[in-house]
Structure 1
Amino acid sequence: MPDTNNAIPPNLASLHAGEEFLRGKAIGLIAGDERLRLHLAITEAAMDLADVLRQFDTADEDLKVVQLLGMRTFNAFGASVKLALSGYSQNSALILRDVLETVFLIDYFVGDRTLIERWRFADKKARLKDFGPVKVREALDARDGFTDKKRFAMYEMFSELAGHPTMKSAFMMRPQRDGDAVIGPFMEATTLEAVVSEMGRLAIQVAEQLNLFLPADWPQGRPSRLAFATLKQRWITTFYPSRVR
Protein backbone atom coordinates (compact mmCIF):
# COMPACT_ATOMS: atom_id res chain seq x y z
CA MET A 1 0.00 0.00 0.00
CA PRO A 2 1.25 3.52 -0.73
CA ASP A 3 2.48 5.63 2.16
CA THR A 4 -0.29 8.14 2.92
CA ASN A 5 1.55 10.04 5.65
CA ASN A 6 2.90 12.64 3.26
CA ALA A 7 0.12 12.54 0.67
CA ILE A 8 -1.20 15.97 1.66
CA PRO A 9 1.22 18.94 1.66
CA PRO A 10 1.94 20.06 5.24
CA ASN A 11 0.35 23.48 4.88
CA LEU A 12 -2.88 21.94 3.62
CA ALA A 13 -2.81 19.44 6.47
CA SER A 14 -2.33 22.30 8.91
CA LEU A 15 -5.19 24.21 7.29
CA HIS A 16 -7.46 21.19 7.70
CA ALA A 17 -6.52 20.93 11.37
CA GLY A 18 -7.49 24.57 11.79
CA GLU A 19 -10.81 23.93 10.04
CA GLU A 20 -11.56 21.05 12.38
CA PHE A 21 -10.75 23.26 15.37
CA LEU A 22 -13.18 25.89 14.08
CA ARG A 23 -15.80 23.21 13.52
CA GLY A 24 -15.61 22.37 17.20
CA LYS A 25 -16.03 26.04 18.05
CA ALA A 26 -19.01 26.32 15.70
CA ILE A 27 -20.68 23.29 17.24
CA GLY A 28 -20.28 24.92 20.64
CA LEU A 29 -21.98 28.08 19.38
CA ILE A 30 -24.81 26.06 17.85
CA ALA A 31 -25.26 23.98 20.99
CA GLY A 32 -25.93 27.16 22.93
CA ASP A 33 -28.42 28.62 20.46
CA GLU A 34 -31.78 26.89 19.99
CA ARG A 35 -32.56 28.96 16.91
CA LEU A 36 -29.43 27.80 15.09
CA ARG A 37 -30.20 24.21 16.01
CA LEU A 38 -33.67 24.63 14.54
CA HIS A 39 -32.29 26.04 11.28
CA LEU A 40 -29.98 23.06 10.95
CA ALA A 41 -32.76 20.63 11.86
CA ILE A 42 -34.98 21.99 9.09
CA THR A 43 -32.02 21.82 6.70
CA GLU A 44 -31.58 18.16 7.57
CA ALA A 45 -35.31 17.59 7.01
CA ALA A 46 -35.11 19.19 3.55
CA MET A 47 -32.13 17.02 2.67
CA ASP A 48 -34.01 13.96 3.88
CA LEU A 49 -36.98 14.79 1.65
CA ALA A 50 -34.63 15.18 -1.32
CA ASP A 51 -33.14 11.77 -0.54
CA VAL A 52 -36.56 10.15 -0.17
CA LEU A 53 -37.79 11.65 -3.44
CA ARG A 54 -34.66 10.27 -5.12
CA GLN A 55 -35.67 6.77 -4.04
CA PHE A 56 -39.10 6.88 -5.66
CA ASP A 57 -39.01 4.53 -8.65
CA THR A 58 -40.51 6.20 -11.70
CA ALA A 59 -40.44 6.05 -15.48
CA ASP A 60 -41.62 9.66 -15.69
CA GLU A 61 -38.73 11.60 -17.23
CA ASP A 62 -40.11 14.89 -15.95
CA LEU A 63 -40.19 13.62 -12.38
CA LYS A 64 -36.64 12.36 -12.81
CA VAL A 65 -35.63 15.96 -13.53
CA VAL A 66 -37.09 17.08 -10.21
CA GLN A 67 -35.36 14.18 -8.47
CA LEU A 68 -32.05 15.36 -9.92
CA LEU A 69 -32.71 18.93 -8.84
CA GLY A 70 -33.54 17.67 -5.37
CA MET A 71 -30.27 15.73 -5.32
CA ARG A 72 -28.49 18.93 -6.33
CA THR A 73 -29.96 20.75 -3.33
CA PHE A 74 -28.96 17.85 -1.05
CA ASN A 75 -25.34 18.10 -2.17
CA ALA A 76 -25.39 21.88 -1.95
CA PHE A 77 -26.78 21.93 1.58
CA GLY A 78 -24.23 19.33 2.66
CA ALA A 79 -21.36 21.36 1.23
CA SER A 80 -22.74 24.61 2.63
CA VAL A 81 -23.01 23.16 6.15
CA LYS A 82 -19.48 21.79 5.89
CA LEU A 83 -18.07 25.14 4.81
CA ALA A 84 -20.04 27.17 7.36
CA LEU A 85 -18.87 25.01 10.26
CA SER A 86 -15.29 25.06 8.98
CA GLY A 87 -15.10 28.85 8.98
CA TYR A 88 -15.78 29.59 5.31
CA SER A 89 -19.02 31.55 5.64
CA GLN A 90 -18.66 33.41 2.36
CA ASN A 91 -18.15 30.22 0.39
CA SER A 92 -21.04 28.60 2.24
CA ALA A 93 -23.26 31.50 1.19
CA LEU A 94 -22.06 31.20 -2.41
CA ILE A 95 -23.38 27.64 -2.52
CA LEU A 96 -26.66 28.80 -0.97
CA ARG A 97 -27.13 31.08 -3.97
CA ASP A 98 -27.14 27.93 -6.11
CA VAL A 99 -29.83 26.48 -3.83
CA LEU A 100 -31.85 29.67 -4.25
CA GLU A 101 -31.66 29.51 -8.04
CA THR A 102 -32.52 25.80 -8.01
CA VAL A 103 -35.54 26.16 -5.74
CA PHE A 104 -36.88 28.99 -7.89
CA LEU A 105 -36.68 26.67 -10.90
CA ILE A 106 -38.45 23.86 -9.04
CA ASP A 107 -41.14 26.31 -7.95
CA TYR A 108 -41.55 27.38 -11.58
CA PHE A 109 -42.09 23.75 -12.53
CA VAL A 110 -44.64 23.29 -9.74
CA GLY A 111 -46.81 26.02 -11.25
CA ASP A 112 -46.75 24.47 -14.73
CA ARG A 113 -45.34 20.98 -15.03
CA THR A 114 -45.32 21.11 -18.83
CA LEU A 115 -42.34 23.44 -18.43
CA ILE A 116 -40.20 20.53 -17.26
CA GLU A 117 -40.26 18.86 -20.66
CA ARG A 118 -39.51 22.17 -22.37
CA TRP A 119 -36.54 22.66 -20.04
CA ARG A 120 -35.30 19.11 -20.65
CA PHE A 121 -35.15 19.55 -24.41
CA ALA A 122 -34.17 23.22 -24.56
CA ASP A 123 -30.88 24.09 -26.22
CA LYS A 124 -28.65 26.65 -24.54
CA LYS A 125 -30.21 29.62 -26.33
CA ALA A 126 -33.77 28.56 -25.48
CA ARG A 127 -32.82 27.66 -21.91
CA LEU A 128 -31.29 31.07 -21.25
CA LYS A 129 -34.22 32.83 -22.93
CA ASP A 130 -37.02 30.90 -21.25
CA PHE A 131 -35.45 29.58 -18.05
CA GLY A 132 -32.67 31.99 -17.12
CA PRO A 133 -32.61 33.15 -13.48
CA VAL A 134 -34.13 36.55 -14.29
CA LYS A 135 -36.88 35.03 -16.44
CA VAL A 136 -37.76 32.50 -13.74
CA ARG A 137 -37.88 35.13 -10.98
CA GLU A 138 -40.04 37.46 -13.05
CA ALA A 139 -42.40 34.64 -14.02
CA LEU A 140 -42.78 33.58 -10.39
CA ASP A 141 -43.46 37.15 -9.27
CA ALA A 142 -46.07 37.57 -12.01
CA ARG A 143 -47.69 34.24 -11.12
CA ASP A 144 -47.85 35.08 -7.42
CA GLY A 145 -48.78 38.73 -7.89
CA PHE A 146 -45.64 39.94 -6.11
CA THR A 147 -44.46 43.46 -6.90
CA ASP A 148 -41.88 43.95 -4.15
CA LYS A 149 -39.14 41.98 -5.98
CA LYS A 150 -38.12 40.10 -2.85
CA ARG A 151 -36.83 37.22 -4.95
CA PHE A 152 -34.50 39.59 -6.77
CA ALA A 153 -33.39 41.17 -3.49
CA MET A 154 -32.48 37.77 -2.07
CA TYR A 155 -30.53 36.78 -5.18
CA GLU A 156 -28.81 40.16 -5.20
CA MET A 157 -27.79 39.79 -1.56
CA PHE A 158 -26.14 36.43 -2.16
CA SER A 159 -24.46 37.75 -5.31
CA GLU A 160 -23.09 40.92 -3.69
CA LEU A 161 -21.85 39.29 -0.50
CA ALA A 162 -20.64 35.97 -1.86
CA GLY A 163 -21.18 35.36 -5.56
CA HIS A 164 -19.26 38.25 -7.09
CA PRO A 165 -15.94 39.91 -6.21
CA THR A 166 -17.34 43.24 -4.99
CA MET A 167 -16.36 45.63 -2.22
CA LYS A 168 -19.40 44.46 -0.26
CA SER A 169 -18.12 40.89 -0.45
CA ALA A 170 -15.19 41.94 1.75
CA PHE A 171 -17.62 42.17 4.69
CA MET A 172 -17.77 38.38 4.81
CA MET A 173 -13.98 38.18 5.06
CA ARG A 174 -13.87 40.25 8.24
CA PRO A 175 -14.30 38.69 11.69
CA GLN A 176 -15.29 42.17 12.91
CA ARG A 177 -17.35 44.53 10.77
CA ASP A 178 -14.88 47.42 11.11
CA GLY A 179 -11.80 45.22 11.18
CA ASP A 180 -9.49 43.97 8.48
CA ALA A 181 -10.23 41.14 6.09
CA VAL A 182 -8.44 37.90 6.90
CA ILE A 183 -7.15 35.09 4.75
CA GLY A 184 -8.40 31.61 5.49
CA PRO A 185 -11.25 30.42 7.69
CA PHE A 186 -12.50 32.09 10.85
CA MET A 187 -15.38 31.56 13.23
CA GLU A 188 -17.48 34.46 14.44
CA ALA A 189 -20.93 34.08 16.00
CA THR A 190 -22.75 36.79 14.03
CA THR A 191 -21.47 35.59 10.67
CA LEU A 192 -22.27 31.97 11.47
CA GLU A 193 -25.77 32.94 12.57
CA ALA A 194 -26.39 34.92 9.37
CA VAL A 195 -25.39 32.05 7.08
CA VAL A 196 -27.17 29.31 9.02
CA SER A 197 -30.31 31.44 9.24
CA GLU A 198 -30.42 31.90 5.46
CA MET A 199 -29.79 28.18 5.10
CA GLY A 200 -32.84 27.43 7.22
CA ARG A 201 -35.04 29.79 5.21
CA LEU A 202 -33.94 28.16 1.97
CA ALA A 203 -34.42 24.69 3.41
CA ILE A 204 -38.07 25.49 4.14
CA GLN A 205 -38.59 26.52 0.51
CA VAL A 206 -36.79 23.50 -0.91
CA ALA A 207 -38.70 21.03 1.24
CA GLU A 208 -42.05 22.67 0.47
CA GLN A 209 -41.46 22.40 -3.28
CA LEU A 210 -40.06 18.87 -3.27
CA ASN A 211 -42.92 17.76 -1.06
CA LEU A 212 -45.35 18.68 -3.84
CA PHE A 213 -43.73 16.12 -6.14
CA LEU A 214 -43.82 13.25 -3.64
CA PRO A 215 -46.80 10.98 -4.40
CA ALA A 216 -49.28 11.40 -1.56
CA ASP A 217 -50.09 7.68 -1.47
CA TRP A 218 -46.45 6.50 -1.36
CA PRO A 219 -46.00 5.04 2.14
CA GLN A 220 -42.20 5.28 2.14
CA GLY A 221 -42.44 9.04 1.90
CA ARG A 222 -44.80 9.59 4.82
CA PRO A 223 -42.29 9.56 7.72
CA SER A 224 -40.11 12.22 6.09
CA ARG A 225 -43.10 14.33 5.11
CA LEU A 226 -44.49 14.16 8.64
CA ALA A 227 -41.10 14.99 10.17
CA PHE A 228 -40.78 18.03 7.92
CA ALA A 229 -44.34 19.20 8.62
CA THR A 230 -43.72 19.00 12.36
CA LEU A 231 -40.42 20.87 12.15
CA LYS A 232 -41.87 23.43 9.77
CA GLN A 233 -44.63 24.29 12.24
CA ARG A 234 -42.07 24.69 15.00
CA TRP A 235 -39.83 26.78 12.73
CA ILE A 236 -42.65 29.13 11.72
CA THR A 237 -43.81 29.46 15.32
CA THR A 238 -40.28 30.40 16.35
CA PHE A 239 -39.34 32.82 13.58
CA TYR A 240 -42.70 34.09 12.32
CA PRO A 241 -45.08 33.87 15.30
CA SER A 242 -47.48 36.40 13.73
CA ARG A 243 -48.30 33.83 11.03
CA VAL A 244 -49.48 31.28 13.57
CA ARG A 245 -53.21 31.38 14.13
Structure 2
Amino acid sequence: MTALQNIIPENLKNLHGGEEQLREKALAIIANDEKLQLNLAVLEAAMDLADIFRQFDTMDEDLRVAQVLGMRTFNALASSLKLALSGYHQNSALILRDVLETVFLLNLFAGDRALIERWRNADKKTRMKKFSPVKVREALDVRDGFTSKRRAEAYVLFSELAGHPTMKSAWMMRPEKDGDAVVGPFMEATALEAIVSEMGRLSVQVGEQLNAFLPPDWTRGQPARCAFDRLKLDWIATFFPMAQGICP
Protein backbone atom coordinates (compact mmCIF):
# COMPACT_ATOMS: atom_id res chain seq x y z
CA MET A 1 0.00 0.00 0.00
CA THR A 2 2.86 2.38 0.82
CA ALA A 3 4.39 1.88 -2.61
CA LEU A 4 1.09 2.69 -4.26
CA GLN A 5 0.68 5.81 -2.17
CA ASN A 6 4.10 7.03 -3.27
CA ILE A 7 2.99 7.02 -6.91
CA ILE A 8 1.06 10.25 -6.32
CA PRO A 9 3.24 13.36 -5.70
CA GLU A 10 2.77 14.90 -2.27
CA ASN A 11 1.24 18.11 -3.56
CA LEU A 12 -1.40 16.19 -5.49
CA LYS A 13 -2.25 14.13 -2.40
CA ASN A 14 -2.62 17.35 -0.43
CA LEU A 15 -4.85 18.78 -3.15
CA HIS A 16 -7.08 15.72 -3.01
CA GLY A 17 -7.28 16.02 0.76
CA GLY A 18 -8.38 19.63 0.40
CA GLU A 19 -11.01 18.62 -2.17
CA GLU A 20 -12.44 16.07 0.24
CA GLN A 21 -12.67 18.70 2.97
CA LEU A 22 -14.51 21.02 0.58
CA ARG A 23 -16.90 18.20 -0.27
CA GLU A 24 -17.85 17.91 3.40
CA LYS A 25 -18.38 21.66 3.53
CA ALA A 26 -20.56 21.49 0.40
CA LEU A 27 -22.66 18.67 1.84
CA ALA A 28 -23.20 20.71 5.01
CA ILE A 29 -24.47 23.62 2.91
CA ILE A 30 -26.83 21.32 1.00
CA ALA A 31 -28.05 19.67 4.20
CA ASN A 32 -29.44 23.04 5.33
CA ASP A 33 -31.16 23.89 2.07
CA GLU A 34 -34.23 21.92 0.96
CA LYS A 35 -34.20 23.48 -2.50
CA LEU A 36 -30.66 22.29 -3.15
CA GLN A 37 -31.69 18.83 -1.96
CA LEU A 38 -34.61 18.88 -4.41
CA ASN A 39 -32.27 19.81 -7.25
CA LEU A 40 -30.04 16.85 -6.42
CA ALA A 41 -33.04 14.54 -6.11
CA VAL A 42 -34.27 15.40 -9.60
CA LEU A 43 -30.70 15.06 -10.88
CA GLU A 44 -30.53 11.54 -9.48
CA ALA A 45 -33.92 10.70 -10.98
CA ALA A 46 -32.84 11.91 -14.43
CA MET A 47 -29.61 9.93 -14.21
CA ASP A 48 -31.56 6.85 -13.14
CA LEU A 49 -33.84 7.29 -16.14
CA ALA A 50 -30.79 7.46 -18.42
CA ASP A 51 -29.39 4.30 -16.83
CA ILE A 52 -32.68 2.41 -17.24
CA PHE A 53 -33.11 3.62 -20.82
CA ARG A 54 -29.69 2.29 -21.84
CA GLN A 55 -30.80 -1.18 -20.72
CA PHE A 56 -33.70 -1.32 -23.17
CA ASP A 57 -32.79 -3.98 -25.73
CA THR A 58 -33.32 -2.72 -29.25
CA MET A 59 -31.97 -3.19 -32.76
CA ASP A 60 -33.24 0.23 -33.80
CA GLU A 61 -30.09 2.20 -34.61
CA ASP A 62 -31.87 5.52 -34.19
CA LEU A 63 -33.08 4.59 -30.71
CA ARG A 64 -29.57 3.45 -29.86
CA VAL A 65 -28.37 6.96 -30.70
CA ALA A 66 -30.82 8.37 -28.15
CA GLN A 67 -29.60 5.80 -25.61
CA VAL A 68 -25.97 6.84 -26.11
CA LEU A 69 -26.88 10.50 -25.77
CA GLY A 70 -28.70 9.65 -22.57
CA MET A 71 -25.60 7.87 -21.31
CA ARG A 72 -23.61 10.98 -22.18
CA THR A 73 -25.87 13.10 -19.98
CA PHE A 74 -25.48 10.56 -17.15
CA ASN A 75 -21.69 10.83 -17.26
CA ALA A 76 -21.75 14.60 -17.63
CA LEU A 77 -24.13 15.19 -14.72
CA ALA A 78 -22.13 12.85 -12.49
CA SER A 79 -18.87 14.60 -13.41
CA SER A 80 -20.33 18.06 -12.98
CA LEU A 81 -21.64 17.19 -9.53
CA LYS A 82 -18.32 15.72 -8.42
CA LEU A 83 -16.47 18.83 -9.55
CA ALA A 84 -18.98 21.17 -7.89
CA LEU A 85 -18.77 19.37 -4.56
CA SER A 86 -14.97 19.46 -4.79
CA GLY A 87 -14.92 23.22 -5.29
CA TYR A 88 -14.34 23.46 -9.05
CA HIS A 89 -17.38 25.56 -9.90
CA GLN A 90 -16.19 26.83 -13.28
CA ASN A 91 -15.22 23.39 -14.52
CA SER A 92 -18.54 22.01 -13.29
CA ALA A 93 -20.35 24.66 -15.32
CA LEU A 94 -18.30 23.81 -18.40
CA ILE A 95 -19.61 20.26 -18.29
CA LEU A 96 -23.15 21.54 -17.81
CA ARG A 97 -22.80 23.31 -21.15
CA ASP A 98 -22.27 19.87 -22.66
CA VAL A 99 -25.49 18.70 -21.00
CA LEU A 100 -27.31 21.72 -22.43
CA GLU A 101 -26.05 21.01 -25.94
CA THR A 102 -26.99 17.33 -25.67
CA VAL A 103 -30.46 18.17 -24.37
CA PHE A 104 -31.05 20.46 -27.35
CA LEU A 105 -30.02 17.69 -29.73
CA LEU A 106 -32.29 15.16 -28.02
CA ASN A 107 -35.13 17.66 -28.16
CA LEU A 108 -34.62 18.11 -31.89
CA PHE A 109 -34.58 14.36 -32.46
CA ALA A 110 -37.64 13.81 -30.29
CA GLY A 111 -39.58 16.20 -32.50
CA ASP A 112 -38.48 14.53 -35.75
CA ARG A 113 -37.08 11.01 -35.45
CA ALA A 114 -36.00 11.05 -39.12
CA LEU A 115 -33.30 13.56 -38.21
CA ILE A 116 -31.47 10.93 -36.14
CA GLU A 117 -30.57 8.87 -39.20
CA ARG A 118 -29.41 11.99 -41.04
CA TRP A 119 -27.25 12.97 -38.07
CA ARG A 120 -25.61 9.58 -37.54
CA ASN A 121 -24.84 9.19 -41.25
CA ALA A 122 -23.72 12.77 -41.84
CA ASP A 123 -20.13 13.63 -42.75
CA LYS A 124 -18.39 16.43 -40.87
CA LYS A 125 -19.37 19.13 -43.37
CA THR A 126 -23.03 18.16 -43.31
CA ARG A 127 -23.06 17.77 -39.55
CA MET A 128 -21.67 21.26 -39.03
CA LYS A 129 -24.03 22.73 -41.62
CA LYS A 130 -27.17 21.07 -40.30
CA PHE A 131 -26.48 20.00 -36.72
CA SER A 132 -23.97 22.40 -35.19
CA PRO A 133 -25.05 23.76 -31.79
CA VAL A 134 -26.26 27.03 -33.29
CA LYS A 135 -28.17 25.26 -36.09
CA VAL A 136 -29.86 22.98 -33.57
CA ARG A 137 -30.91 25.95 -31.42
CA GLU A 138 -32.22 27.83 -34.43
CA ALA A 139 -34.18 24.80 -35.64
CA LEU A 140 -35.76 24.36 -32.20
CA ASP A 141 -36.72 28.03 -32.01
CA VAL A 142 -38.35 27.88 -35.44
CA ARG A 143 -40.17 24.65 -34.55
CA ASP A 144 -41.47 26.03 -31.27
CA GLY A 145 -42.15 29.55 -32.52
CA PHE A 146 -39.73 31.10 -30.05
CA THR A 147 -38.27 34.51 -30.86
CA SER A 148 -36.67 35.41 -27.53
CA LYS A 149 -33.41 33.50 -28.24
CA ARG A 150 -33.34 32.15 -24.68
CA ARG A 151 -31.66 28.95 -25.80
CA ALA A 152 -28.84 30.98 -27.35
CA GLU A 153 -28.58 33.17 -24.26
CA ALA A 154 -28.20 30.15 -22.00
CA TYR A 155 -25.53 28.62 -24.22
CA VAL A 156 -23.63 31.91 -24.53
CA LEU A 157 -23.71 32.42 -20.77
CA PHE A 158 -22.17 28.99 -20.14
CA SER A 159 -19.58 29.71 -22.82
CA GLU A 160 -18.57 33.09 -21.41
CA LEU A 161 -18.45 32.01 -17.78
CA ALA A 162 -16.91 28.58 -18.23
CA GLY A 163 -16.39 27.44 -21.81
CA HIS A 164 -13.99 30.09 -23.07
CA PRO A 165 -11.13 32.08 -21.50
CA THR A 166 -12.83 35.48 -21.35
CA MET A 167 -12.71 38.30 -18.82
CA LYS A 168 -16.11 37.17 -17.51
CA SER A 169 -14.76 33.68 -16.91
CA ALA A 170 -12.69 35.05 -14.03
CA TRP A 171 -15.92 35.70 -12.12
CA MET A 172 -16.26 32.00 -11.40
CA MET A 173 -12.77 31.88 -9.93
CA ARG A 174 -13.58 34.39 -7.19
CA PRO A 175 -14.75 33.21 -3.77
CA GLU A 176 -16.02 36.76 -3.19
CA LYS A 177 -17.85 38.82 -5.82
CA ASP A 178 -15.43 41.75 -5.72
CA GLY A 179 -12.41 39.76 -4.60
CA ASP A 180 -9.47 38.34 -6.49
CA ALA A 181 -9.48 35.14 -8.52
CA VAL A 182 -7.86 32.20 -6.76
CA VAL A 183 -6.04 29.12 -7.93
CA GLY A 184 -7.44 25.75 -7.02
CA PRO A 185 -10.82 24.74 -5.59
CA PHE A 186 -12.86 26.71 -3.09
CA MET A 187 -16.28 26.39 -1.52
CA GLU A 188 -18.69 29.28 -1.30
CA ALA A 189 -22.42 28.92 -0.74
CA THR A 190 -23.62 31.27 -3.49
CA ALA A 191 -21.44 29.63 -6.15
CA LEU A 192 -22.50 26.15 -5.07
CA GLU A 193 -26.17 27.12 -5.05
CA ALA A 194 -25.92 28.57 -8.57
CA ILE A 195 -24.29 25.44 -9.97
CA VAL A 196 -26.58 22.95 -8.23
CA SER A 197 -29.62 24.98 -9.31
CA GLU A 198 -28.47 24.74 -12.93
CA MET A 199 -27.97 21.01 -12.49
CA GLY A 200 -31.55 20.68 -11.34
CA ARG A 201 -32.92 22.76 -14.20
CA LEU A 202 -30.98 20.80 -16.80
CA SER A 203 -31.85 17.48 -15.16
CA VAL A 204 -35.54 18.24 -15.60
CA GLN A 205 -34.90 18.81 -19.30
CA VAL A 206 -32.79 15.65 -19.58
CA GLY A 207 -35.51 13.54 -18.01
CA GLU A 208 -38.20 15.06 -20.19
CA GLN A 209 -36.29 14.29 -23.38
CA LEU A 210 -35.38 10.75 -22.33
CA ASN A 211 -39.03 10.13 -21.44
CA ALA A 212 -39.91 11.03 -25.02
CA PHE A 213 -37.80 8.11 -26.25
CA LEU A 214 -38.47 5.53 -23.55
CA PRO A 215 -41.00 3.02 -24.96
CA PRO A 216 -44.27 3.67 -23.05
CA ASP A 217 -45.20 -0.02 -22.88
CA TRP A 218 -41.87 -1.14 -21.39
CA THR A 219 -42.90 -2.05 -17.86
CA ARG A 220 -39.34 -2.22 -16.55
CA GLY A 221 -38.92 1.47 -17.26
CA GLN A 222 -42.08 2.56 -15.47
CA PRO A 223 -40.69 2.89 -11.90
CA ALA A 224 -37.87 5.20 -13.04
CA ARG A 225 -40.24 7.16 -15.27
CA CYS A 226 -42.79 7.61 -12.48
CA ALA A 227 -40.12 8.58 -9.94
CA PHE A 228 -38.79 11.24 -12.28
CA ASP A 229 -42.25 12.56 -13.10
CA ARG A 230 -43.10 12.96 -9.40
CA LEU A 231 -39.88 14.82 -8.68
CA LYS A 232 -40.26 16.96 -11.79
CA LEU A 233 -43.68 18.10 -10.61
CA ASP A 234 -42.28 18.88 -7.16
CA TRP A 235 -39.44 20.81 -8.78
CA ILE A 236 -41.77 22.85 -10.99
CA ALA A 237 -44.13 23.54 -8.10
CA THR A 238 -41.19 24.75 -6.01
CA PHE A 239 -39.34 26.91 -8.53
CA PHE A 240 -42.12 27.85 -10.97
CA PRO A 241 -45.36 27.73 -8.96
CA MET A 242 -47.25 29.89 -11.46
CA ALA A 243 -46.77 27.17 -14.07
CA GLN A 244 -48.80 24.83 -11.90
CA GLY A 245 -51.52 27.33 -11.12
CA ILE A 246 -50.60 27.20 -7.43
CA CYS A 247 -50.49 30.94 -6.93
CA PRO A 248 -53.79 32.90 -7.05
Task: Could you tell me which runs of 5 or more consecutive residues in structure 1 were left unpaired when the two chains were aligned.
Answer: none
Q: Where does 1:191-230 land on structure 2 (aligned, <5 Å)?
A: 191-230=191-230
Report the Cα distance in structure 2 between the residues aligned to 1:232 and 1:73, rounded to whole angstroms.
17
Task: Indicate the residue corresponding to 1:114 in structure 2.
Answer: 114
> Taking every aligned residue pair, what percent have the same amino acid on both sides?
69
Task: Indicate the residue corresponding to 1:177 in structure 2.
Answer: 177
Task: Indicate the residue corresponding to 2:156 in structure 1.
Answer: 156
Report the Cα distance in structure 1 between the residues aligned to 2:49 and 2:11, rounded to whole angstroms.
38
Q: Where does 1:1-245 land on structure 2 (aligned, <5 Å)?
A: 3-245=3-245
Report the Cα distance in structure 1 between the residues aligned to 2:2 and 2:172, rounded to whole angstroms.
40
SS at match of 2:4: coil
SS at match of 2:215: coil
Moved over 6 A (4+): none
Output one character per residue of 1:43-98: Cα deviation in whole Å (capped at 9) or x when no partner: 11110000000000000000000000000000000000000000000000000000
SS at match of 1:3: helix
Report the Cα distance in structure 2 between the residues aligned to 1:62 and 1:237, rounded to whole angstroms.
34
The aligned amino acid for 2:104 is F
The aligned amino acid for 1:220 is R
Output one character per residue of 1:7-42: Cα deviation in whole Å (capped at 9) or x when no partner: 111100000000000000000000000000001111
The aligned amino acid for 1:39 is N
The aligned amino acid for 1:101 is E
CA deviation after TM superposition for structure 1 residue 5, in Å: 2.0
The aligned amino acid for 2:3 is D
Output one character per residue of 1:142-173: Cα deviation in whole Å (capped at 9) or x when no partner: 00000000000000110000000000000000
Q: If the length of structure 2 is used for normalisation, what is the TM-score?
A: 0.98
Q: 1:2 to 1:13 in 2, by over 3 A?
A: closer
What's the RMSD between the two structures over aligned residues? 0.9
CA deviation after TM superposition for structure 1 residue 3, in Å: 2.2
The aligned amino acid for 2:197 is S
CA deviation after TM superposition for structure 1 residue 2, in Å: 8.7
Q: If the length of structure 1 is used for normalisation, what is the TM-score?
A: 0.99
CA deviation after TM superposition for structure 1 residue 130, in Å: 0.5
